[in-house]
Amino acid sequence: MSIQPEHGHLLQNFTLGTEIRDFLIQKRTKGLEPHEINSFQFFKKGISNSIFFHSPFLLPDIIPSIKQLLASIENEEKILLYGDRDTDGVSSTAILYHFLKKEFPSIHLEATSSSKNEAYGLCPEAIAKIKKFKPKLLITLDFGTSNANEINDLAKQGIKSIVIDHHEIPSQTIDSCLLNPKRIDSIYPEKKICTSFLAWKLSLAILFYKSLEYNKIYKISNTKEIQYYQNGIRIENPNENEAEIFEFNKEAKIQEENASLYASIPGVQLVFYEQLKSIPDLFIKLTPLSSLTGIGTITDMMPLVGENRSMVRLACDYLSELSTNLNTPSLPGIKMILTHTGLLGKKVSSKDLGWGIGPLLNSAGRMGQTEIAFDLLLADTEKAAESKIKELIKTNEERKERTKRNVYKTEKFFQRNAHLTEKPILFCYEPDLEPGVSGIVATKLVETFQKPAIFITPDHGQARGSIRSSGAENVLDLLKEAQDILNQFGGHPEAGGFSVEINRIPELQEKIYTLSVEWLKNIDKPVQQIISDLKTRAQDLDKNLFHVLEYLEPTGHGNPPILLSLEKAKVLNFTFMGNGKHARFKILGAGNLKFIIWNEAEKMSRFVTMKESIDLWGNLELSSFLGKTSLQFLVTHYT
């Protein structure tokens, strides 16, 4: 796929501040649904992020799940939380563990996670582990949707199940409670929310269910039509003679809050938020857990629009306050992560979650040592958390080294087998490749060759692989066609994982090559046009502009950082970094602002020497190094 960057609207045409902000919001929210837009419009001081959350009672099976869980607690049954090995799985397990332990101190609760030799989901090793725990109620987090047979078998053995998951729905669904917004019968507005968010929603729903607000009916009559709401859901005209109905004066509430913006917030969300505020300590109990929800949302690449955006903003705000407000309640593991990553006492951004905290937690699962991250997040004292954070940091360094080795071996593999780069899809397997980082390496292959990639490594007697799309392809469709060869597979349309017997890899390779021709036939590969949000001058790139752009935070998947561009920039002081892979430089007229480019230093150096001036595209961001924070421009494209 070729990329053609273009310049966008000229910054000079706007007044710095509100005018730029409003223009960028309008541009960024074009084509979004109303419930996805609201969180962009109303991030004002004094308006809570929580006002944009949808009611958890819109989720299918939420009430049966609550009743099942509360019944198990009341009957003193053993409950087992079983989370997936990735960051979302570990975070969601920790959310529910901490919540249930604090809300129900006498609960018989244990928690574990998949790791080491286990395949994805309820594999034989997972089933064996569950039976050792001997629970009466099993709650799976971030897997289970595709394990209908296993869950039904457990039910026959007296083990009930609640599945909390966000993966694609297969043709055969489970008979037990399934909290998954992608269910066909789901009326939940957001389909792309992570399991951590679902665990947080279940926690909120339990508090609401136990409160006096549960099943109360409110009506708003001072509108064009009378509207009725119950548990955060709009309902049709109830019989006012048979049910007690409470009046909610929306206009009075707007005046009381002195926020005219409230007028645009849907009545259902406004009423539900006011109900949440009336429940004692609800936000005190749930806000610390939002840090884990934000991390899960970012690391699982959920689109940062709608309530995902609100949750990540809530998480970042909470994490930023931890060191400035000593009375802020915190999870020991999270506080220890902030301390050892240098983020404690600083303003935490979505980038910090995605590039600092997320990969650190994820490294444990990649290296087959999920229990390190798991024990860190479940720790109830700082002393317990401190020993685990040191182990986790060491594990992350080992993960980085393993990634480097695998990338190097992969480069050599395709140099020796250059003809394989001409295939419709990249397929890489070598006996000496190391497990645990296949997803990272597959992503790097996609970036290098601009086509879908499969990367497979041997792992404890069999092989595990990752597949990544390069654009609009649905990788699950391809894996389904090859499922007769695979032991297991799962994931998302953009990224999947699978296991296969080592002796069947050649067979899989040939089948993938054959299937991929038809798979890719109807996928358009147009030239990707990249147009900057704002065309700037060198002197425009300062903290004043950065503070205006901050209004669009949090940024990430589905809401990328604001793209800026410069025309005819003159490069000064080009300096190589990182063994020549990266570079920093300055631009005439931009003062001491640093410009950074990653992984293309040598290529850009040759380009700069041939040009008197160049055009640049990139993002203005804050950089922290050795305790100092400065502004820098991250270059993403140049011509």
pLDDT band at 561 (very low <50, low <70, confident <90, very high): very high
Classify residue 570 by its DSSP letter: P
Q: Is the pLDDT of residue 494 over 70?
A: yes
pLDDT band at 103 (very low <50, low <70, confident <90, very high): very high
In tens, the pLDDT along 566-578 reads 999 999 999 999 8
Q: In whole angstroms, what is the distance from residue 145 CA to residue 182 CA?
A: 10
What CATH number has the domain spanning 417-519? 3.10.310.30
Contact 375, 322 (CB under 8 A): no
The percent of residues in the chain predicted with pLDDT above 90, rounded, is: 67
What's the pLDDT at 492?
A: 81
Domain boundaries of the chain, sorted by first residue: 212-278, 417-519, 530-638
**Can you tell me which residue has the tokens 């947080």?**
200
What CATH number has the domain spanning 530-638? 2.40.50.460
What's the pLDDT at 542?
A: 93
Q: CA-based angle 286:289:294, to the nearest 5?
A: 120
* Averaged pLDDT score across all residues of the chain: 90
pLDDT band at 491 (very low <50, low <70, confident <90, very high): confident
In tens, the pLDDT along 143-154 reads 999 899 999 999
Other Cβ atoms less than 10 A from the Cβ of 231: the count is 21
Q: Is the pLDDT of residue 510 over 90?
A: yes
Of 87, 84, 119, 118, the residue nearest 363 (C-alpha): 87
Q: Residue 253, class by beta-carbon neighbours within 10 Å (0-12 exposed, 13-18 middle, 19+ buried)?
A: middle
The strand pair at 495-500 and 426-429 is best described as unpaired
Q: Is the pLDDT of residue 529 over 60?
A: yes
Q: Is the pLDDT of residue 38 over 80?
A: no
Q: What is the mean pLDDT of residues 13-32?
A: 86
What's the pLDDT at 344?
A: 87
pLDDT band at 528 (very low <50, low <70, confident <90, very high): low
Other Cβ atoms less than 10 A from the Cβ of 315: the count is 29
Q: Is the pLDDT of residue 46 over 60?
A: no
What's the pLDDT at 262?
A: 67
pLDDT band at 449 (very low <50, low <70, confident <90, very high): very high
Q: Residue 110, class by beta-carbon neighbours within 10 Å (0-12 exposed, 13-18 middle, 19+ buried)?
A: middle
What's the pLDDT at 256?
A: 58
The strand pair at 582-587 and 426-429 is best described as unpaired
In tens, the pLDDT along 227-282 reads 999 999 999 988 877 778 998 877 666 555 545 566 677 888 889 999 999 999 99
Q: Residue 18, class by beta-carbon neighbours within 10 Å (0-12 exposed, 13-18 middle, 19+ buried)?
A: exposed
Q: Is the pLDDT of residue 625 over 80?
A: no
Are both 417-519 and 530-638 of the same fold?
A: no
In tens, the pLDDT along 310-331 reads 999 999 999 998 876 666 778 9
- Alpha helices, DSSP H, located in 262-357: 267-278, 282-299, 306-321, 332-340, 350-352
pTM for this prediction: 0.89
Q: What is the CA radius of gyration of the chain?
A: 26
What's the pLDDT at 169?
A: 87
